[in-house]
Chains A and B, each alone.
Chain A
């Protein structure tokens, strides 16, 4: 594993979840191989990897659904094993499948799973109503969920995980198969949970979701953590250079000569009535570059910054595309 972290992000705060050297084998095949990570309160932690990378198996072990062959999972300091019920009270699981009863109503589903989490009577009623409002299904609460759209089912699936206000919320590919509007609504909800102090473990194979939501990300492939860190830290693994395309008219040669002197500009290529600059941290250099080009006599018509993304990181680390 390549560690992108420049410093230990833990600052003495107790980990909500600590996973150490987790291993899972099925026969001769090792599907999870020495995975370690930790999550603090208010942190959204992403497991990013293609389908079959081992993300769901990791989550199943974290949730105590299957035993690990080696390693440990601790939730708020309590060891999680399948037979232990104590730490399970701290976590909310939103599985990839729509884990709801289609022949029960939305309210009945919420009340059932809430009762399993120890919510009773008034508290259960109140939380059910709150969650129905939160997920936008209050007006459809008495309908059997088999009549719901895919997006509505997904929202209910997430609502069930939130019902008992868990300390750690595990979301396994929660946006698979949903329309863009519902997807955006789900992502906004997850962002809000993080700001409210909930620790979130989020698995996805959508690079954009990991980039938008996650404070830290583990890139998983073939059961192993390939790299871990913040988005920017991971991107630096690829060299961390941005590309700036300058289009316009006028004296491009003079502009190129002037821009070479701007600190952070590594390379300038010309062509097609414009310049292509390879720079470190494009957004922060942009004002100096625009000013430099203008003062050298180049009249700009367009400026485009292309930043490396997690897709590039995955490609760089594994030699294959994220969605293979």
Chain B
């Protein structure tokens, strides 16, 4: 065991010596998860509204409150800034509230608002939402005016309206999706799906590039020297794999923790998610050992690692959710460890799955890791007879 730990320790030390690894293993994945979650994650379609006007006036406050209550994202800026945001597509709708309009609103008179939609395709939907919100504010103002005209003072009228709303049981509309896939994704947060997918993609990819270090070791003659010591081939490959495994587990754990803290990703039961991660990392590390034993050129080994990592990630559902795959692709995806790990994460994240629920996925991942490790040890021994 000491020998295995020594070999693994050297692999980790060499990995940490290369500063570029820190960016690609720890920084880049989180950036990508942020980008994908912002663009495609649940709730990423929240409409953006920019309001230009005196923020202290009653009209601006009422409209802002109603827009936010209706689920729109509201910012306040000067008229010039809002126009620039509209022209650059950085906001969907701009609302320009003049001092005159604000004064008219406070006086109970009709107030004219200038509402401008951006030219991009999603802006029209946002505009409809803004119209509905403004309509709601307008209705409330009219109700207030009617009560005041009936001789009730402004404060009493407002209180009466609030009370009436509280006692009114308004009809609720619940949209139920009949599509199984949509139902499955309903409980996911904005970054949940992307985080699981990118975790699998990056952990496997980083591990496969580790094949190059094994090839370098063979080229340098270091592996031969290791095997000329009282070290078996199994120990040598286990040590190499353990080093890559350790790096993969740290990377995966970091992505899990980072996305949970920074983006609020819900990984479900942390122990079960951790177990899935550990077994997936074992498969990735063992696969790297197979490539590192078969290939004789470290640049080609790295290239194959990246290519294979991306193909397997795509096939295994780390780019497009496998729920959208056709029947044949669904079957094909099951040759990848990504798919088994994806399913296990889905069970834990979306359905609060137990250990029993993910036992088939865990078993398959363990079998893949064991098979690849044995194959790697065999191929490494054979590789020593080849000239590099």
Interface size, B (range): 20 to 34
Interface residues of B in 340-388 (CB under 8 A from A): 381, 384-385
Q: How far is the CB of A28 from chain B (nearest CB, A)?
A: 16
Return chain B residues, CB-CB under 8 Å to A44: none
Judged by a CB distance under 8 angstroms, whether A99 is at the interface is yes
Using known A-B contacts A101-B14, A103-B18, A104-B14, determine if residue A117 contacts B229 with beta carbons closer than 8 Å: yes
Whether A113 and B229, one on each chain, are in contact in the complex, defined by CB atoms closer than 8 angstroms, is: yes
Whether A160 and B225, one on each chain, are in contact in the complex, defined by CB atoms closer than 8 angstroms, is: yes
- 0/1 per residue, A85-112, Cβ < 8 Å to B? 1101101010111111111100010001
A63 to B385, CA, bound (A): 13
User: Chain A: how many interface residues by the 8 Å CB criterion?
Assistant: 34
Given A65-B384, A88-B229, A160-B225: 7 more A-B contacts, CB < 8 Å: A66-B384, A99-B222, A101-B10, A103-B17, A108-B13, A116-B3, A116-B6
Using known A-B contacts A91-B228, A108-B13, determine if residue A66 contacts B220 with beta carbons closer than 8 Å: no
Top 9 nearest A-B pairs (CB, nearest first) are A97-B221, A99-B221, A93-B228, A85-B230, A116-B229, A99-B225, A115-B6, A63-B228, A95-B221
A65 to B384, CA, bound (A): 7
The residue in chain B whose Cβ has the minimal distance to the Cβ of A24 is B385
Judged by a CB distance under 8 angstroms, whether A302 is at the interface is no
Judged by a CB distance under 8 angstroms, whether B157 is at the interface is no
**A to B CB contacts below 8 Å, 16 in the list:** A26-B385, A63-B228, A65-B227, A65-B228, A66-B385, A82-B381, A83-B232, A85-B230, A85-B232, A88-B231, A95-B225, A97-B220, A103-B18, A104-B10, A104-B13, A120-B2
Return chain B residues, CB-CB under 8 Å to A160: 225
Judged by a CB distance under 8 angstroms, whether A287 is at the interface is no
Whether B220 and A118, one on each chain, are in contact in the complex, defined by CB atoms closer than 8 angstroms, is: no
Judged by a CB distance under 8 angstroms, whether B226 is at the interface is yes
Return chain A residues, CB-CB under 8 Å to B230: 85-86, 88-89, 116-118
- 0/1 per residue, A73-90, Cβ < 8 Å to B? 000000000110110110
Return chain B residues, CB-CB under 8 Å to A26: 385
The residue in chain A whose Cβ has the minimal distance to the Cβ of B10 is A112
A93 to B228, CA, bound (A): 7
Q: How far is the CB of B258 from chain A (nearest CB, A)?
A: 27
